[in-house]
Amino acid sequence: MLTLGALLSPVATAGASPAAPAAPEPARIDLVLDLSGSMNQDDADGQTRLAAAKQAVTRIIDTAPEQAPLGLRVYGATYPGQDKKRGCADTQRVLPVTPMDRAARADAKKRVAGFKAVGFTPIGVSLREAAKDLGPSGERRIILVSDGEDTCAPPPPCEVARELKAQGLDLAVDVVGFRTPSSARAQLKCIADVTDGSYTDADDADSLTAGLGALFRKGWRTYQATGKPVEGSLDGCRDAPLVAPGQYLDRFTGGRDLYYKVKKRPDQLLQVSATAVAEEGYGRGSLITVAAGPEADGEPRAWLREFDQSMGWANIISTGGRSKPGAGSEKPAPDDTGCILVENDVTRPGDKPMPVELLVGIADKTTRQAGARAPEPRTGADAEGGYSFNSATPIGPGTYRQSITVGEAPFWRVEVKAGQKLTVKAGVDIPKDFPRSATTGWGVTVYNAQRTSTQCNKDQNATELLAGRTGHIERVCGPWEISDEGGASGSAPDGYDVPGTYYLQAQVAEPDDEAKGIVVPISLTVDVTGTPRSGDGPVFFFGDDAAHGPSQSGAHAGGEQGANGTTAAATDDDSPLGKLALPAGIGAGVLLLAGLAFYALKRRGAA
């Protein structure tokens, strides 16, 4: 059981911003490479297909994150004869699925350098073996590179793909057709389609390298929703789980809303954030709302109500809010128990379940007196952006540069205090041969300490359409003056006067597939001016895991595990946690992929 001292000690309440939960494991990826005899053809931009494939695979090995589990399987690499039985069994695991540390990286590159292309094309058999390489659990992907159709069926490769999908495994197969004739393309696309993977054509070494890079980044660098599992009630507050400060992971099903109980005294401030994460993108008008208030209310909203709406292409919607301070502006709740409502106007009946992060925080005099600390900013290569609120890279004022692929949306975080001003400048260099598209744009999104997004400035949308432009394109957001010490003054549009952790996200958005995978250099300049003002601003407690310190951004999981395996964020008893009536927060981070004409709409305060 937690003690009072442990719960509200300066260490336990160390974050005005929440600490990150344990990072989710990266997707396990097995690359299956065609080394059949046709790969010796000298038609890949002045070199053999084999040489181009070696170049692309070596690039993947060089750039793979150290913690990323990568395996390599080849087929057609050892038997040069005509015996079909032997040729169609010619598939080998070259590299087990293992994190790419220095030793594994050196070994893999050495093996790739020695590849020869000599044999048959047993795609179906190789897919079965690759599924075994990846193991039985976790997010797994097979990336298949082939220049032709299977020459060994049975088993037909598309039937093998259906077989793997029917096993209920979290497994997708992405396919790159390398100079593939039209006769083979339908077979390869079928493999991708039936496993919910993707198909891409590549005609030369550069496009193969770019295509593979995009697929691997998709597996390793997409937004990964995190938090302690919880199941919100679908039928109102009565049966809802009680949540304490922390980050939780739930899901939208159909068009159903989610309800959670929370404890909050009138003298305490409550922060609630919510993030819905889509696999592809939202349609126009998708809406997510968070509200909280006394449980007795028909629709709880007396404490706070905030919403964000997507009017364009985005794969995340994020919103959050804080209650107003003081008992005089709050409606008392019986036994200090209230209700959190996350309204779902995103999914419809029959849609796939969609992950939702919930973040809950509480602030009062005790947490404020405990003080706050922030993670040490990173510099140089260590300042490369993360890929969610939880993995956002902590930075300070300065200029940061890196390269991203089109469709990626890296995150950074910066701490801003009352009395300071924040200005964010983001630039991208678009190459002259960049595909012309009416829907591609350059966007930078700033999220405030409540994880609510804003338009860059009043006269600018979140994304600036490129409209065929190339060269250096730059956007400036702000300056925003951080002045609100009470937590909900509502004086600034979208709450950009609230001190705390601000999240910065940049992206070249491309709803179509034409530009995906192209690598472009970007720069991010952060300017924080002014002298921090002393005062009694709130310090939010986001759960006991904050004792470990906010290592990278975002929320962390809080709460306790029940004997039946279900998650409750708070205990409704006489424990110190129950007596303190600490509010539960929904850990939210909605990564809006700054897509076309995205607008953030918000209403602040009690309804």
- For residues 40 and 390, the model is more confident at 40
Q: Exposed, middle or buried, 253 (CB in 10 Å: 0-12/13-18/19+)?
A: middle
The Cα–Cα gap between 76 and 249 comes to: 44
Select from 588, 551, 589, 583 the least CA-distant residue to 570.
583
Helix (H, G, I), strand (E, B) or coil at 577: helix
Question: What is the pLDDT at residue 23?
Answer: 45
Query: In 3-state terms, what secondary structure has residue 297?
Result: coil
Confidence of residue 595 (pLDDT cuts 50, 70, 90): very low
pLDDT level of residue 280 (50, 70, 90 thresholds) = low
For 262, residues 6+ apart whose C-beta sits below 8 A from its C-beta are: 242, 243, 270, 292, 337, 338, 339, 340, 360, 569, 570, 583, 584, 585
Is residue 563 predicted with pLDDT exceeding 50?
no
Q: Six-digit token pair at 70? A: 């990568």
HSE value, Cβ hemisphere, 13 Å, CA-based, for 5: 0
Burial readout 73-107 (b: 16 or more C-beta within 10 A, e: otherwise): bbbbbbeeeeeeeebbebbebbbebeebeeebbee
Q: Residue 216 has what pLDDT?
A: 75
**Residue 293: helix, strand or coil by DSSP?**
strand
Question: Region 63-88: what's the mean pLDDT?
Answer: 90
Q: Helix, strand, or coil here: 40?
A: helix
Pairing state of beta strands 421-430 and 567-568?
A: unpaired
Whole-number Å distance between alpha carbons of 388 and 165:
28
Q: What stretch of H or E contains 185?
A: helix 182-194
Percent of the chain clearing pLDDT 90 (strictly above): 38
- C-beta neighbour count of 471 within 10 angstroms: 10
Q: Do the Cβ atoms of 31 and 71 come closer than 8 Å?
A: yes
Structure tokens belonging to residue 581: 């009536």
Of 106-120, 200-214, 439-453, 572-586, highest mean pLDDT: 106-120
Q: How far apart are CA 289 and CA 301, in angstroms?
A: 11
Residue 486's identity, in one-letter code, is G
Q: Which residues pair with 357 in a beta bridge?
A: 249, 275
Cα–Cα distance list, 588 to 52, 297, 403, 454, 538 (Å): 43, 24, 27, 16, 19
Given a cut of 80, whether residue 259 has pLDDT beyond it is yes
Rounded to whole angstroms, the Cα distance separating 468 from 107 reads 43
Domains of the chain: 4-23+227-586 (no CATH), 28-220 (3.40.50.410)
Tell me the pLDDT of the chain averaged across its residues.
Answer: 78
Tell me, what DSSP letter sits at residue 28?
Answer: E
Quick one: pLDDT at residue 10? 29
Please determine, for residue 592, whether its predicted confidence score (pLDDT) is greater than 60.
no
For residue 421, what are its two tokens?
């001003």
What digits encode the pLDDT tens for the residues 317-372? 899 999 887 655 567 788 899 999 999 988 888 888 889 999 999 998 888 766 55
Q: Which of 388, 312, 393, 369 is nearest to 587 (CA)?
A: 388
Would you state the pLDDT for residue 14? 30
Q: Above 50 in pLDDT, residue 11?
A: no
Q: Evaluate if residue 83 carries a pLDDT over 90.
A: yes
Q: Find all residues with CB under 8 Å of 447, minimum gap 6, and list them.
A: 318, 389, 453, 454, 502, 503, 504, 505, 589
Q: State the pTM of this model.
A: 0.68
Euclidean distance between CA atoms 14 and 562, whole angstroms: 26
Question: How far apart are the C-alpha atoms of 315 and 592, rounded to whole Å?
Answer: 6
> What does the alpha-carbon distance between residue 69 and residue 256 come to, in Å, rounded to a whole number?
36
Handedness of CA 211, 216, 217, 219 (dihedral sign): positive
Q: Where are the beta strands (DSSP E) in 547-593?
A: 560-561, 567-568, 585-586
If you average pLDDT over residues 115-121, what whole number do you get? 94
Q: Are the C-beta atoms of 524 and 399 separated by less than 8 Å?
A: yes
CA geometry: angle 331, 333, 336, nearest 5 deg: 130
Burial of 185 (0-12, 13-18, 19+ CB in 10 A): middle
SS3 for 422? strand
What would you report as the CA-atom Rg of the chain, rounded to the nearest whole angstrom? Answer: 26
pLDDT band at 102 (very low <50, low <70, confident <90, very high): confident
Residue 404 near residue 410, CB atoms below 8 Å: yes
Q: In the prediction, which pLDDT does 440 show?
A: 80
For residue 381, how many other CB atoms are within 10 A of its CB? 7
pLDDT digits (tens, 9 = 90+) for 197-247: 888 888 888 788 777 877 776 666 677 788 899 999 999 999 999 999 999
The residue whose two tokens read 């973040």 is 359
> Which three-class secondary structure state does DSSP give residue 344?
strand
Edge-first strand order for the sheet with 337-345 is 258-263, 337-345, 286-294, 304-310
Residue 13: burial class (beta carbons within 10 Å; 0-12, 13-18, 19+): buried
The sheet with strand 421-430 has its strands ordered as 398-405, 519-529, 421-430, 471-481
Please name the residues in contact with 288: beta carbons below 8 A apart, sequence gap of 6 or more: 274, 276, 307, 308, 317, 318, 319, 342, 343, 344, 345, 346, 590
Give the pLDDT band (50/70/90) at residue 492: low
Residues of the chain with pLDDT > 70, as a percent, come to 75
Query: 108-112 — which CB contacts under 8 Å span 24+ positions?
Result: 108/61, 108/70, 108/72, 109/58, 109/61, 109/62, 111/72, 112/54, 112/57, 112/58, 112/61, 112/72
Going by pLDDT thresholds of 50, 70 and 90, the confidence category of residue 548 is very low
Pick the residue with more confidence: 292 or 5?
A: 292
Helix H or strand E segment including 111: helix 102-113
Predicted pLDDT at 131: 94
Taking only the tens place, the pLDDT of each residue in 418-465 is: 899 999 999 999 988 888 776 788 888 899 999 988 767 655 566 777
Element (H, E) at 504: strand 500-509
